[in-house]
Structure 1
């Protein structure tokens, strides 16, 4: 019964190549749901009630899809409806996935096997990151993209999901620079997912690994350093720093010694050519102004419907430089990202109001509170991922793969607790 989980995590490169990518969780949720219907009894992890309330709130927010918040423009169209429908399907699929994982016995899916599946996806992530660095122009038209009508595949949100690309080429440093994104939706998704999967990779391949796995772990993590730096992803760098600090504070002496070795390796790396790239990125904080504008505009728009939000994102008038809206032939920099695109918290504000954002925070904060005393390697790793989910919600959009990995991590954490602690 573990095959849908294996298909989702280990088989993820195939989903990406087919053009399904992050929506793979929606596909595998179908057989998961069929299997769950035939099971009795079905256990629901404590805390999932908050996620269910989040989904109910999102259903209610559909009533506001036709409205325009203050300071925004745009009319109700197929793009807005498609975006709303995709998010709703993903939210429901995540519930099915978590409940399915919670009801698999240790015999059906050993805990360490599940952790190592997450580690296998990390290897895929590193390979995709290296591809983005070495061949940033690599892309192709997926089978799904060929099958979909233009009015769907032409939607920018949908295109990011179904069109496989190795990297996003951006001018973060003042010149064209590739930022790895394969096999995920966009560069920021690669960064956040890389840090989460790294945690499980280390647990599965180093902590619970033999000599061969440990040697592989060293090689893969060393290789990951290159795309991690070239990603120019400050959020990822901060997340890794938080992970090291957490390890130093909570783990045993051996883990602290390992963290010290990692810090020494990072120091050596920053003394070389990769360090110059990091320095350039830190000296180029131009995105801060863009984020400040969109966050302020998001909060102002959300205040117009603070309880249920507006169901989907909106476009604000102007940007931090000009009142001109959108790109033109004479102003290529006048475009701006939609409100809510700077992090899951801000997305929830505009789509589901402050109530939705609070439910999201309560879900992950509740998991940290319940499982904080689990000092096993898996327990500490899972708690760290819950903490990163709260950190990243201010800088990364969680849809789609990030939320999938957060919720798989939640299920691993719940499965790791003693059975007498479960409801």
Structure 2
């Protein structure tokens, strides 16, 4: 028998290389994916070639590197899997269903968590030659510009929507469901009555207003880092203009969690710069804050803020669901219930439920008003500890990273911690969290960009 010839050297070298196109296409073309109706679905779609490419490179002889603290994330994933054993349980005050009825929502979340794991590993294993960190920062900064553009669209054309190609391919019984609509039906804003009368709240291209606000905080820092790393003054000017314009949709969104997140982001960055001895940041924050207050007082935006602060219509529902999540956690503290649950009725009466004429009346989702509450209720102490432990360990492990990328990445993670009280992280916010972690990790491996 004739021995098989060894592959040419250039072929082996090619197999050892990870191409940047899966992440570049994912981020740079996200507006296109949104318009096509793929939205968050593009993440598992792109995760498939990422996984194949990593396995191919590993088979060619280059090992897969795991990030520091990955054992925490492994604990979280294990907890998600083990918690599926409780899918058939019906906590007090929730709608009774069979475990099989909850498999779709459970499988959706598990699939996205695995997708984010692949994204983390792929982004972290890319080298500077394959995908420069500054290029990844520019892609994330670009998505902040997209977020602001979507916010402006929601302000001026709140009822704008259209049927996407993917939506056209779905059966009517599937595409008409609210959850499916949020993924495949592009729309500019959610129309809600929070301050007297229905008003549009920016959502494009992230599906929900809360997700829009969460991503606003996670991405804002990357625009600043990308612009100030450039030698072109025009890019700095454009960044300042975009940040100034972003105030309008941020206020009109009526998103108090976003407002708090911006405050956390600014205070954390200022704190880090003060530790570096750059005390000028204090003056910059004071000047910027004063300018913002003056701008709000001199424009109708100030009235919008006051109206939202005087109308906390969602407070009662959030408190009700937080109590249900804590009660559920105490009933099943180790592994949780595997997924969310639907309450019987509303917070005032079990007789109040959603209907065709009032989809938001009762039957609320326990674990749907904040990642922390969902972790506690769905995956218990084990899942909560693994999830929070991974990102907290990353903050501690990379605490000495004083580069602009390092500070922006850690600021994004810190901001996400505050957002966990009222925002859920799947799918895009968690994607931006793991990419921030990957940038910290790569800084640690390769030095400052």
Interval of TM-score (by shorter of Structure 1 and Structure 2): over 0.9
Displacement after TM superposition at 1:303 (Å): 2.5
Superposed CA offset, 1:231-265 (max 9, x none): 10111101111122123222124544443342132
Confirm whether residue 62 of structure 1 aligns to residue 89 of structure 2.
no
Displacement after TM superposition at 1:174 (Å): 2.1
Is the Cα–Cα contact under 8 Å of residues 74 and 386 in structure 2 kept in the other structure? no
Is the Cα–Cα contact under 8 Å of residues 347 and 362 in structure 2 kept in the other structure? no
Confirm whether residue 246 of structure 1 aligns to residue 272 of structure 2.
no
Confirm whether residue 38 of structure 1 aligns to residue 56 of structure 2.
yes
Is the Cα–Cα contact under 8 Å of residues 346 and 364 in structure 2 kept in the other structure? no
Q: What is the correspondence of 1:5-404 to structure 2 with a 5 Å cutoff?
A: 5-39=23-57, 40-76=62-98, 80-208=102-230, 210-251=232-273, 252-271=278-297, 272-328=299-355, 334-404=361-431
In structure 2, distance between residues paired with 1:164 and 1:20? 9
Displacement after TM superposition at 1:48 (Å): 2.3
Superposed CA offset, 1:294-348 (max 9, x none): 1101211232322112221111123223232413589876324310011011111
SS of residue in 2 equivalent to 1:72: coil
Is the Cα–Cα contact under 8 Å of residues 328 and 334 in structure 1 kept in the other structure? yes
Give unmatched runs, 5+ long, in structure 2.
Answer: 1-18
In structure 2, distance between residues paired with 1:318 and 1:129? 33
Name the residue aligned to 1:411.
Answer: 438
In structure 2, distance between residues paired with 1:374 and 1:227? 32
Deviates more, 1:265-274 or 1:189-198: 265-274
Displacement after TM superposition at 1:23 (Å): 2.2
RMSD: 2.0
Is the Cα–Cα contact under 8 Å of residues 54 and 360 in structure 1 kept in the other structure? yes
Displacement after TM superposition at 1:130 (Å): 0.5
Is the Cα–Cα contact under 8 Å of residues 219 and 412 in structure 2 kept in the other structure? no
SS of residue in 2 equivalent to 1:341: coil
Displacement after TM superposition at 1:208 (Å): 4.2
Is the Cα–Cα contact under 8 Å of residues 364 and 389 in structure 1 kept in the other structure? no
Displacement after TM superposition at 1:216 (Å): 0.8
Is the Cα–Cα contact under 8 Å of residues 160 and 186 in structure 1 kept in the other structure? yes
In structure 2, distance between residues paired with 1:148 and 1:78? 22
SS of residue in 2 equivalent to 1:346: helix
Relative to structure 1, is the Cα distance of residues 223 and 407 closer, same or farther in structure 2, using a 3 angstrom cutoff? same
Relative to structure 1, is the Cα distance of residues 5 and 409 closer, same or farther in structure 2, using a 3 angstrom cutoff? same
Relative to structure 1, is the Cα distance of residues 156 and 301 closer, same or farther in structure 2, using a 3 angstrom cutoff? farther
Superposed CA offset, 1:145-202 (max 9, x none): 2223345434433321122111011111021111100000200000010111101111
Is the Cα–Cα contact under 8 Å of residues 89 and 337 in structure 2 kept in the other structure? yes
Is the Cα–Cα contact under 8 Å of residues 344 and 362 in structure 2 kept in the other structure? no
Is the Cα–Cα contact under 8 Å of residues 140 and 163 in structure 1 kept in the other structure? yes
Is the Cα–Cα contact under 8 Å of residues 324 and 334 in structure 1 kept in the other structure? no
Deviates more, 1:91-100 or 1:315-324: 315-324
Relative to structure 1, is the Cα distance of residues 89 and 332 closer, same or farther in structure 2, using a 3 angstrom cutoff? closer
Superposed CA offset, 1:258-308 (max 9, x none): 433421321222212111101111111121111000110121123232211
SS of residue in 1 equivalent to 2:191: strand
In structure 1, distance between residues paired with 2:218 and 2:186? 22
Give unmatched runs, 5+ long, in structure 1.
Answer: none
TM-score, normalising length from structure 2?
0.89
Displacement after TM superposition at 1:205 (Å): 1.4
Deviates more, 1:188-197 or 1:218-227: 218-227
